[in-house]
Amino acid sequence: MTKQIVTAFNIKKYFQIRRGVWGAIRRLPILYAKAVDNISLAIYEGETLALVGESGCGKTTLGRLILKLIDLTEGYIFFEDILVNDLEKEELKSYRRKVQIIFQDPYGTLDPRYTIGATLEEPLIIHKITKSAAERTEIVSKILEEVRLIPPDEFMRRYPHQLSGGQRQRVAIAKALILNPKFIVADEPVSMLDVSIRAEILELMKSLKEKFNLTYLYITHDLSTARYISNRIAIMYLGKIVEIGPASKVIDEPLHPYTQALVSAVPEPNPENKFKMREIKIIGEIPSAVFIPPGCRFHPRCPYAMEICKKVEPELVEIKPNHFVACHLYSGNKRYQETIQIPEKFVDMVKVSSSSNK
Amino acid sequence: MSLLEIKNLKTYFFTTKGIVRAVDDVSLSLNKGEILGLAGESGCGKSTLAYSIIRLIPPPGKIVSGKILFEGEDILSYTEEEFRSKIRMKKISMIFQGALHGLTPVYTVGYQLLEVFKYHSDIEETKAKEIITETVKLVGLDPTILRRYPHELSGGQKQRIMICMSILLKPPLVIADEPTTALDVVVQAQILNLLKELQAKFNMSMILITHDLSIIAELADKVAIMYAGKIVEYANSMDLYKDPLHPYTQKLIRSIPRLKEDISKLEFIPGLPPDLRNPPSGCRFHPRCPFAMEICKKVEPELVEIKPNHFVACHLYTK
């Protein structure tokens, strides 16, 4: 049984909406954007798990929670057998060496005033990994070769504006790799690149994963790239996971109506598509995370909504081997949460807090 | 007579670091009711071509030579005043990348739509407002949206407003520049359906510009592939996808990840598009072409009809 490297248990992240002074005086109710609303998730060593959903579903927030770039409102996150919630200072720093992130925007994540070499050196300096500038240059040089920015000495001297979008994204990947992490959150790493460049970057990510034994959380709204690079896919909607399973199964046999809509919406380079309208069975757009519909949060847009859907929130249960869905159209016995292992020493702590929540 | 005919168009940018030959001798034509897809990577000149047609090239750019015939008239010879009052938004309009920067944040959506009438037509305000209300409904929005500011709208709503703006005066030709960039996949599908509906309803001609060949397949009748300022392949959509001739087109199509297939390795095009101030000699694609021959480095291939209505600029086919 493969080791669980990242575990999220009943996590919530609510962002308070500012009501301002006037709102406070008038005692308006405090509103929350429930970005992540009770999610449990296990990520296994060596896999690529894709977290797929449209804007506003909470996938980026989930990625940042794992990295502890933001703190949880409720719940627990474990990395191997470390509790991430309470990490501070030195321990947090040491955690950051194991868990890294690649951001979406190749034009926004590199400091324009630093050369590529300086940008890549920075983590080495912060974590006091090397003893001399020469050593750092050597490591930076090697990592530039790994991401195929060759010759490395040339690229080290350049500034971000001298690089193309694809090249900048390679630098972002290099920066994530330079500390030799075990786990990388890749947040839409290719969405802002041309389709033809995406292939290159995805190929690179795949081969680096093999070479360095990495585990990826690949966050995206693009199902095609998700299928290409991932082992499993989790579909998120308005703060919850609505379906999770093997990548090819989730796409070829989608269970949740939302997943079915996502799958049917993807354009393909088939010229016969010109002759028909794409059937999109769901209506409207995603509601705000502040006013989440009761019961199943997807019900207002769902073509199959039943009475129960308006009242009861469905649980994520197993319908096919390792393929879970949260939808009243299906009934299953094994809850997804049961498949998640809590690290031994925290089992009691988690039990206590779960029962006190009931 | 074609609706639009572009002949040997050259648009260059005269920068302090050299002349960027963004559109370098491009010819194509479009008939009434047709949709032309213009595809290519970032920097290939497709947006510049679009902006040349609607004459919104910012300095230091200039249309250097060539002809643009619209309904038989050479619109390049019009003065700016004539172009604005007779052509722009009225005969040829553009859907900008609205989700990103097509709308100004300081005016309401309704006000910005009204501006189209103010600057490009003689229709008076009351009638204009009626047309606006009708058109807003046509693009699937509620007219109450007219009182909102752009920041209150979602990406999909902004893009619908941009589409609305472009069809207000019912122009026969609409140019859509990356109309679904930055939109989520379900919203994108809705927008593409909307464009199909409108095109069918008004028999609109369209030029669709994007780097995404999947989107082009959804809409286009004809496709032109641009590379480094030139058109390298030009054919009916069916022919292009079923039998791509140019090595660049082949690679572009093979680099698209497929939703329903498990592909073990995606193909990609090594290297980068060239610097348009100093493009490679001969065929501009030769440094990245897997089939490059000696002649490719010296002689620029011409766009030649290899099969009926299927043009390609490649020495592999012209011996």
Of A221, A228, A280, the CB nearest to B257: A228
Mean pLDDT over A151-172 rounds to: 92
pLDDT at residue number B267: 82
pLDDT at residue number A63: 94
Q: Taking the CB of residue A135, how many other CB atoms lie within 10 A of it? A: 12
Q: Which residues of A213-227 are buried (b: 16+ CB within 10 A; e: fewer)?
A: ebbbbbbbbbbbbbb
Interface of A with B in 68-87 (CB under 8 A): none
**pLDDT tens digits for B15-51?**
998 999 999 999 999 999 999 999 998 888 998 999 9
Query: Distance between CA atoms of B173 and B205, rounded to whole angstroms?
Result: 5
Mean residue pLDDT of chain A comes to: 91
Choosing among A52, A60, A149, A194, which should be mutated to test the B contact, i.e. which has the most B CBs within 10 A? A194
Retrieve residue A107's tokens.
Answer: 């034009």
Mean residue pLDDT of chain B comes to: 90
Contact A65/A84 with Cβ under 8 angstroms? Answer: no
ipTM over 0.90: no
Of B192, B211, B260, the CB nearest to A267: B192
pLDDT at residue number B277: 87
Element (H, E) at B23: strand B18-30
Which of the four pLDDT bands, split at 50, 70 and 90, describes residue B99? Answer: low
Nearby residues of B110 by Cβ (< 8 Å), 6 or more positions away: B132, B146, B147
Interchain CB distance below 8 Å, B218 and A54: no
Contact B193/B204 with Cβ under 8 angstroms? Answer: no
Mean pLDDT over A78-96 rounds to: 92
Query: Distance between CA atoms of B131 and B115, rounded to whole angstroms?
Result: 13
Instruction: Please name the residue of chain A whose CA is at the shortest distance from the CA of residue B265.
Output: A203
pLDDT at B100 over 70: no
pLDDT at B1 over 80: no
Domain range summary for chain B, segments of one domain joined by +: 4-312
Interchain CB distance below 8 Å, B266 and A199: yes
Mean pLDDT over B305-318 rounds to: 93
Q: Which chain B residues are within 8 Å of A198, Cβ to Cβ?
A: 255, 257
- Which CATH number characterizes residue A300's domain? 3.40.50.300
Mean pLDDT over B79-100 rounds to: 85
Task: Please tell me the total count of domains within chain A.
Answer: 1
Choosing among B256, B265, B276, which should be mutated to test the A contact, i.e. which has the most A CBs within 10 A? B256
Mean pLDDT over A114-127 rounds to: 94
pLDDT at residue number B161: 92
Q: Which chain A residues are within 8 Å of B190, Cβ to Cβ?
A: 280
Contact B39/B224 with Cβ under 8 angstroms? Answer: yes
Q: Which chain A residues are within 8 Å of B185, Cβ to Cβ?
A: 54, 221-223, 262, 265-266
**Is residue A145, in this structure, part of any structural domain at all?**
no
What's the CATH fold of domain B4-312?
A: Rossmann fold (3.40.50)
Q: Which chain A residues are within 8 Å of B238, Cβ to Cβ?
A: 271-272
pLDDT at B148 over 60: yes
**Residue B286 C-alpha from the chain's centroid:** 25
User: ∠ CA(B28), CA(B32), CA(B36), 5° rounding?
Assistant: 45
Say how many CB pairs under 8 Å bridge A and B.
133
Least confident of A29-43, B151-165, B263-277: B263-277
Please tell me which residue, A297 or A200, carries the higher pLDDT value.
Answer: A297
Query: Distance between CA atoms of A182 and A45, rounded to whole angstroms?
Result: 9
Which of the four pLDDT bands, split at 50, 70 and 90, describes residue A1? Answer: low
Which of the four pLDDT bands, split at 50, 70 and 90, describes residue A278? Answer: confident
A65 CA: distance to closest CA in chain B (Å): 23
Interchain CB distance below 8 Å, B259 and A280: no
Backbone angles phi, psi at A259, to 5 degrees: -60, -40
- Residue at A154: amino acid letter: E
Percent of chain B at pLDDT exceeding 90: 64
pLDDT at A318 over 90: yes
Interchain CB distance below 8 Å, B211 and A194: yes
A78 CA: distance to closest CA in chain B (Å): 31
pLDDT at residue number A358: 44
Q: Which chain B residues are within 8 Å of A262, Cβ to Cβ?
A: 185-186
pLDDT at residue number A46: 94
pLDDT at residue number A356: 57
Nearby residues of B207 by Cβ (< 8 Å), 6 or more positions away: B30, B35, B36, B38, B50, B53, B173, B174, B175, B176
Q: Which chain B residues are within 8 Å of A235, Cβ to Cβ?
A: none
**Is residue A219, in this structure, part of any structural domain at all?**
yes
B251 CA: distance to closest CA in chain A (Å): 8
Of B155, B217, B272, the CB nearest to A271: B217
User: ∠ CA(A224), CA(A301), CA(B110), 5° rounding?
Assistant: 95
Interchain CB distance below 8 Å, A227 and B259: yes
Q: Which chain A residues are within 8 Å of B193, Cβ to Cβ?
A: 277-278, 280
Mean pLDDT over B57-66 rounds to: 92
Mean pLDDT over B70-75 rounds to: 92
- Residue at A346: amino acid letter: F
Of B212, B241, B258, the CB nearest to A271: B241
**Is residue A125, in this structure, part of any structural domain at all?**
no
pLDDT at residue number A212: 93
Interchain CB distance below 8 Å, B189 and A265: yes
Which of the four pLDDT bands, split at 50, 70 and 90, describes residue A120? Answer: very high
pLDDT at residue number A357: 52
Interchain CB distance below 8 Å, A203 and B265: yes
Give me the domain span that covers residue A66: 4-113+159-356
Going by C-alpha positions, the residue among A262, A252, A258 that lies closest to residue A303 is: A258
pLDDT at residue number A197: 86
C-alpha dist (Å) from residue A172 to A100, A116, A139, A237: 11, 10, 15, 28
Interchain CB distance below 8 Å, A278 and B253: no
> Which residue matches tokens 């049961």?
A338
Half-sphere exposure of A257 (CA within 13 A, CB side): 21
Going by C-alpha positions, the residue among A233, B57, A169 that lies closest to residue B66 is: B57
Nearby residues of A169 by Cβ (< 8 Å), 6 or more positions away: A102, A106, A189, A190, A193, A201
pLDDT at residue number A250: 96
Q: SS3 of A242, please?
A: strand
Choosing among A161, A196, A219, A275, which should be mutated to test the B contact, i.e. which has the most B CBs within 10 A? A196
pLDDT at residue number A281: 80
Query: Distance between CA atoms of B59 and B311, rounded to whole angstroms?
Result: 33
Which residues face B61 on adjacent strands?
B13
Retrieve residue A346's tokens.
Answer: 């925290």
Instruction: Please name the residue of chain B whose CA is at the shortest distance from the CA of residue A197.
Output: B268
**pLDDT tens digits for A199-232?**
889 999 999 999 999 999 999 988 989 999 999 9
